Amino acid sequence: MLIRQGDVLLVPVTTIPAGAIQVARDAGRVILAYGEVTGHAHAIVHPDVTLVSDEQAGELRMWMQVTAPEPVELRHDEHDTLLIPPGTYRVIRQREYQSADMAPLQVAD
Amino acid sequence: MPTRIDKLTKAQEAQFDAHADKWIEIGLRTGKADREKFEASVRDCYGFAGVPFPDVVVWVPSPMVLSLAAPSAALAIELIEAERRGALKPGTARAAVDGAVGDAVYAAVGGAVYAAVGGAVGGAVYGAVSGAVDDIIRRSWMRRFGGQLWSGGWYYGGAWTSFFREVCKLEIPGDTWDRARAYEGTIESACWWWPHRRFVMVCERPVAIHRELANPDVVRGWGSHRLHCEDGPAVVWPDGWGVWSWHGVRVPQHVIEQPELITAQQVLAEQNAEVRRVMIDRMTPERFLGELDAEPVQQDDYGKLWRVELADDEPLVMVELDNSTVEPDGSTKTYFLRVNPECRTALEAVSWTFDQKPSDYVLVAQS
């Protein structure tokens, strides 16, 4: 049961790998992804949300924990606000194919 | 007069919109900068900071010129002073300044012309110093103040601080409000500025700013407006430097002004999905797909799959997706994403873009 906002997908999971490091907030907001040419971001302002990341084989992986007792708002200027229920999620960025001999490229917007 | 505020009154809250609008107007000012006011305000800022005012205020026509010229000038001053102290070999400063000028020309004229001229004339000198100059510019251009473009800001923004002073009549001991007024004066009078102990470089206001209301339900605040101009730069400064934007997406000039020149190959070479979407929008999806000779393969609730057979290469397979959020004007943004050519359906393609199995790609919410 997945949640998608634009190029960001939230996949419920049960655990986060040990060693994942907390990602700092930006101006008080948890940012799941930034937009390069629009300045917009997929962001949560609720205080009871934590974003962590680790790097495996050069790939940056992210997880989000919502510890608030109620669903929190995931906002973006160009998408409708979504309510994210409490829980743990893998945060997956959309990707694009490049070629058979190159790794997929993260979608930039 | 309160000396501490823990809660705003209803009357103060009722002033939010009027106060915001006042500072929005300041942020969007175009035309000539108020040079007299800026120079007086910035002089006060130096005074409050305890730094002697340099008495040299250099006005430049755009943020691009400021970003190149201010760090270059700072570097040149450092080198010249070092030469005078005997800490640097004579001639080094001149070579570095040549490099700085070269960089500015490079930015203005473009790689091909510069490479031709630079290769013939200044290769050796440029090669010796350009790395340093490049580095200085890259590391220090952002040490500017935003002027009118920081009228909102966060806790340091003019709109924020002046609300407590002007609306709430908050009293703060000492000269804090005088300091705030000096800084606010720089916001009210000019655009970007770059302070240095030997000079202040400051940028004129834009000549024009074109915006559109992004959401009729939100007339001010985050996401209320976006830069948009259909036939020229959305923001432009007196020297012609500017930003081209299509409904809030920053794009190259020709995408706005000469969409007939956009080719499908240019679209495929563009790595940013939003820019690519705008390019297709501007050239029309029909021409984009027609130039590629793309064949529709399959369509389902998730999107439409297109396939392009390429000579001597693997096929190009793209999925056409509609944004789940409908635009305020009722339209829908359409994206084309390249996917693994083994995908046979739009569902397979979309789930591949998120590294999911099609059977797992079950959404409970999307926007």
| Residue B312: CB atoms within 10 Å | 4
Residue B20 maps to a domain: yes
Q: pLDDT tens digit string along A48-73?
A: 999 999 988 778 899 999 999 999 99
Same domain, yes or no, for B129 and B278?
Answer: no
ipTM of the complex: 0.95
- The reply to whether residue B323 touches residue A79, judged by beta carbons under 8 angstroms, is yes
Same domain, yes or no, for B145 and B284?
Answer: no
Number of H helices, E strands in chain B: 14, 14
**Cα dist from B326 to A79, B281, B332, whole Å:** 8, 16, 5
Same domain, yes or no, for B187 and B106?
Answer: yes
Q: What is the pLDDT of residue A39?
A: 74
**The domain boundary residue, chosen from B179, B206, B233:** B206
Range of the domain at B192: 10-206
Residue B106 maps to a domain: yes
**How sure is the predictor about A40, in pLDDT bands with cuts at 50, 70 and 90?**
confident
Same domain, yes or no, for B14 and B83?
Answer: yes
Same domain, yes or no, for B196 and B269?
Answer: no
Tokens in use for A64?
A: 């989000």
pLDDT in tens, chain B (367 residues): 888 888 999 999 999 889 988 998 998 999 999 999 999 999 999 999 999 999 899 999 998 888 888 888 888 888 888 888 887 777 766 665 555 555 544 444 333 333 333 333 333 223 333 455 556 666 677 788 888 888 876 667 788 889 999 999 999 989 999 999 999 999 999 999 999 999 999 999 999 999 888 877 777 776 778 889 999 999 999 999 888 999 888 899 999 999 999 999 999 999 888 899 899 999 998 999 999 999 999 999 999 999 998 877 899 999 999 888 888 778 888 999 999 999 999 999 999 999 999 999 999 999 9
| Residue B89: CB atoms within 10 Å | 10
Q: What is the pLDDT of residue B189?
A: 97
**The domain boundary residue, chosen from B206, B228, B251:** B206
Q: pTM higher than 0.90, yes or no?
A: no
Residue B187 maps to a domain: yes
Q: What is the pLDDT of residue B154?
A: 63
Our CA-based measurement puts residue B325 at a distance from the nearest CA of chain A, in whole angstroms, of 5
| Residue among B353, B360, B362 with most chain A CBs within 10 A, to mutate | B353
Q: What is the pLDDT of residue B121?
A: 30
The torsion defined by the Cα of B213, B217, B219 and B224, in degrees rounded to 10, comes to -60
Q: How many domains does chain B have?
A: 2
Of B274, B323, B354, the CB nearest to A94: B354
Residue B171 maps to a domain: yes
Same domain, yes or no, for B173 and B275?
Answer: no
Residue B126 maps to a domain: yes
Q: What is the pLDDT of residue B126?
A: 34
- Residue B275's Cβ-count burial label (10 Å; 0-12, 13-18, 19+) is buried
| Residue among A44, A56, A107 with most chain B CBs within 10 A, to mutate | A107
Q: What is the pLDDT of residue A37?
A: 75
**The domain boundary residue, chosen from B180, B206, B232:** B206
Q: What is the pLDDT of residue B180?
A: 93
Same domain, yes or no, for B48 and B134?
Answer: yes
Q: Which of B281, B366, B290 is nearest to B332 (CA)?
A: B281
